[in-house]
């Protein structure tokens, strides 16, 4: 991480969640909100269909950091705002740009997009150097 100077990019992470990812994530996380597992219910509350869990997309943002930094102990902080709903079966891209170094940590701005739309924008990660 020391090698990456402000303005530099960490390796991108691209994932295409399969059709059933929301069911596996619901089981793993315990979040069975029907907007994630029931198309009909999701449409009845104005969504396009089942949407991914926001915390699943945050987990992808976290994975991009731990894989770039060399393990789970390195990620000290991650703060995100969920900007839009992501859906299964379309590629999700995590982009991470180093913005500076502070108190022994590398500060990273993280953006998660799907189909050209930001799902998470202006998120901040702090990685131990």
For the four alpha carbons of 37, 42, 43 and 44, in that order, the dihedral sign comes to positive
CB 95 within 8 A of CB 71: no
Told to check if 79 binds another protein by CB under 8 A, we report yes
Question: CA 124, CA 107: separation in Å to the nearest integer?
Answer: 7
Binding of another protein by 129 (CB under 8 A): no
Q: Which is nearer to another protein, 4 or 75 (CB)?
A: 75
Dig out the tokens for 4 from the structure. Answer: 């990456």
Closer of 6 and 122 to another protein (Cβ):
122
Chain residues 1-40 in contact with another protein, contact rule CB under 8 A: 15, 21, 24-25, 27-31, 33-34
* Binding-site member from 4, 10, 37, 62 for another protein (CB under 8 A): 62
């Amino acid at each position: 991480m020391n090698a990456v100077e402000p303005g530099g990019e960490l390796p991108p992470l691209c994932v295409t969640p399969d059709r059933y990812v929301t069911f596996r994530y619901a089981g793993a996380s315990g979040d069975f909100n029907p907007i994630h597992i029931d198309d009909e219910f999701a449409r009845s509350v104005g969504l396009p269909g089942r949407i991914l869990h926001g915390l699943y997309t945050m987990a992808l943002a976290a994975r991009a950091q731990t894989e770039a930094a060399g393990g789970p102990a390195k990620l000290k902080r991650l703060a995100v705002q969920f900007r839009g709903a992501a859906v299964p079966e379309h590629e999700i891209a995590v982009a991470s740009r180093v913005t500076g170094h502070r108190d022994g940590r590398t500060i990273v701005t993280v953006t998660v997009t799907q189909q050209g739309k930001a799902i998470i924008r202006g998120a901040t990660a702090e990685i131990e150097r």
